[in-house]
């Protein structure tokens, strides 16, 4: 019975970590997509001159938004993306990938949490989206 109980507890812990890791990787995919769109200047017809792509979320939220920032700072074509309900952002973040460069306006650490786990990864000033890790 003890072995079975320990096995079940290990499986639950593994499953919780995998759910958090999957959400972080999904976010990283959207960040890379926004960065690629900024580098190539991909924009809607309603945007006369594209300044950047923005990806942002608030502390405690389990969704994030990807938006186009057009000339003059107007925000258009905002698309919201949900993470699993158990996963939330530990801090606010707001990244802007500049047109034709793919660099950001500032380096940031993005932290997600679920259950008893926290996962962090960095986005550098140059736009590199680094692999992250679980933190205590």
Mean pLDDT across the chain? 91
Q: What is the pLDDT of residue 72?
A: 86
The total of other beta-carbon atoms located within 10 Å of residue 20's CB is: 22
**CATH level 3 topology of 2-135:** minor pseudopilin epsh fold (3.55.40)
What's the rounded Cα separation, in Å, for the pair 4 and 9? 9
What's the rounded Cα separation, in Å, for the pair 31 and 36? 9
- Residue boundaries of the structural domains of the chain: 2-135
What is the distance, to the nearest Å, from the Cα of residue 132 to the centroid of all Cα atoms in its chain?
12
- pLDDT tens digits along 14-55: 788 999 999 999 999 999 999 999 999 999 999 999 999 999
**How do 75-82 and 117-123 pair as beta strands?**
unpaired
Q: What is the pLDDT of residue 6?
A: 59
With 70 as the cut, is the pLDDT of residue 120 above it? yes
Helix (H) or strand (E) holding 119: strand 117-123
With 90 as the cut, is the pLDDT of residue 123 above it? yes
DSSP-H helix ranges across the chain: 2-40
Phi-psi region of 30 (alpha: psi -120 to 50; beta: other; left: phi over 0): alpha
With 80 as the cut, is the pLDDT of residue 12 above it? no
With 90 as the cut, is the pLDDT of residue 81 above it? yes
């Amino acid at each position: 019975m003890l072995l079975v109980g320990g096995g079940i507890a290990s499986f639950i812990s593994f499953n919780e970590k995998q759910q958090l890791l999957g959400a972080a990787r999904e976010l990283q995919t959207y960040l890379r997509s926004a960065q690629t769109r900024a580098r190539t200047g991909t924009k809607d017809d309603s945007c006369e001159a594209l300044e950047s792509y923005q990806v942002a979320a608030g502390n405690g939220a389990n969704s994030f938004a990807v938006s186009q920032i057009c000339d003059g700072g107007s925000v258009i074509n905002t698309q919201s993306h949900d993470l699993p309900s158990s996963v939330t952002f530990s801090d606010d973040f707001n990244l802007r990938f500049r047109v034709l460069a793919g660099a950001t306006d500032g380096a940031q650490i993005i932290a997600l949490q679920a259950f008893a786990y926290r996962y962090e990864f960095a986005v550098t000033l140059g736009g590199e989206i680094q692999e992250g890790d679980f933190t205590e």
